[in-house]
């Protein structure tokens, strides 16, 4: 089955800097790669997703890139703000339920 690895497990950045979180997946049949943000004590919420026919997708300060050949995808957050502090999860799926990475705790230091 699918296996998703996520790095780093923790990340601290200064406010205004960029943050990058990377994930790799194992199943070449996977074609959907969402990212979820989970604030402390809250539910995970979808922030951006990408499908395998697209290499990059942007939404304001966040972007996701996908390299299907290398089986990895990344989340980029620019101009980080304190409210970006949260745990971020990547996930991958083909025609099966989502498999999640173990999460990255992002801390944005003001």
Partner 1 sequence: DAGITQSPRHKVTETGTPVTLRCHQTENHRYMYWYRQDPGHGLRLIHYSYGVKDTDKGEVSDGYSVSRSKTEDFLLTLESATSSQTSVYFCAISAETGPYGYTFGSGTRLTVV
Residue of 11, 22, 27, 31 that binds partner 1 (CB under 8 A): 31
Distances in Å between the Cα of 11 and the Cα atoms of 1, 63, 98 are 28, 17, 24
Chain CA centroid to CA 43, Å: 16
Q: Which of 8, 12, 17, 51 binds partner 1 (CB under 8 A)?
A: 51
45-51 vs 104-109, strand pairing mode: unpaired
Contact set for partner 1, span 64-83 (CB under 8 A): none
Selected from 75, 77, 93, 106, the binder of partner 1 by CB under 8 A is 93
d(CA 69, CA 76): 20
Which residues sit at the interface with partner 1, rule CB under 8 A?
Answer: 1, 6, 31-32, 34, 42-46, 49, 51, 89, 93-103
């Amino acid at each position: 089955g699918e296996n998703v690895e996520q790095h780093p497990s923790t990340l601290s950045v200064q406010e205004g800097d960029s943050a990058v979180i990377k994930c790799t997946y194992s199943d070449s049949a996977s074609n959907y790669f969402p990212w979820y943000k989970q604030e402390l004590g809250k539910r995970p919420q979808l922030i951006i997703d990408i499908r395998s026919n697209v290499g990059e997708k942007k939404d304001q300060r966040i972007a996701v890139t996908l390299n299907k050949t290398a089986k990895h995808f990344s989340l980029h957050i620019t101009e980080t703000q304190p409210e970006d502090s949260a745990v971020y999860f990547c996930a991958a799926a083909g025609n099966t339920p989502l498999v999640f990475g173990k999460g990255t705790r992002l801390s944005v230091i003001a």
